[in-house]
Structure 1
């Protein structure tokens, strides 16, 4: 049992590294391909605004200004079978900086839940947030 968890943690780390490399390259340089990263019923929450379905998510990305992402930290973990059955699913946590067009870089964090679909990884849920002071 313990070896199985260690194997899944190692796989989550490796998958997160490969997945985020492809994802951010696509966001920054091949935005027309973004829908292929999401499940048909995928969810994107961008700074508190939600979009559901890969076609609407694609439309959302096409409406964003050009970006350049720099990652500063990356973490991942497997989602336990008790929560997702036997479906191989990982949670990925990303922090970094994003520059929109020629503006100053701004800090962001992004959380992905991805699941195996055949030999591809698909985003179930994606939550992006620019890091700005909270006004209480």
Structure 2
């Protein structure tokens, strides 16, 4: 394996661990700070609903019931330089369980595209989906 690629994959995995710790702590306990994690033009797709911009995303999260996330799996990979004009960018994939207020825990899957902005990681795109069975009706 190319040593540069190996180093980038290792960096993506370390970044994913650090980033998701901060992200889920913010969602669960510090929602008033969540907008700081997104680019100004960031995109959140939450169970099929799209929201663009860090302030509308923060407003959306503040209006959700309180949550407690548990990460079960975590993976990350670098995004090919040619696709992002050499900008350091990673794809992070997470699955786990989320408990909303007094309800039972549900399984979720979430994918992030994060990019380096100075010494901070900012969310370019965030896709969250509760893992519920599709309806049997057609």
Equivalent-residue separation in structure 2 for 1:131 and 1:67 (angstroms): 16
The reply on whether 1:7 has 2:13 as its aligned counterpart is no
Classify the secondary structure of the residue corresponding to 1:77: strand
Give the alignment of 1:67-106 within 5 angstroms.
Answer: 67-106=67-106
Point out 4+ residue stretches in structure 1 off by more than 6 angstroms: none
2:128 pairs with 1:128: yes
Superposed CA RMSD in Å reads: 0.9
CA drift at 1:102: 1.2
The residue aligned with 1:47 is: 47
CA distance in 2: counterparts of 1:121 and 1:71, whole angstroms:
19
- Consecutive unaligned residues in structure 2, runs of 5 or more: none
Q: Deviations over 1:38-75 (max 9, x none)?
A: 00000000000000000100100010000000010000
Figure out how many residues of one structure are paired with residues of the other and give that number: 136
Structure 1 position 134, deviation (Å):
1.4
- Cα deviation, 1:14-44, whole Å, max 9, x if unaligned, reads 0000000010011001110000000000000
Partner Cα separation in structure 2 for residue 78 and residue 102 of structure 1: 38
Aligned to 1:34: 34
Structure 1 distance, partners of 2:2, 2:117, is: 25
When the two structures are superposed, what TM-score results if normalisation uses the length of structure 2? 0.97
TM-score, normalised on structure 1?
A: 0.98
SS at match of 2:4: helix
Shift of 1:82: 1.4
Return 5+ residue gaps in structure 1 as ranges: none
Q: Which residue of 1 aligns with 2:112?
A: 112
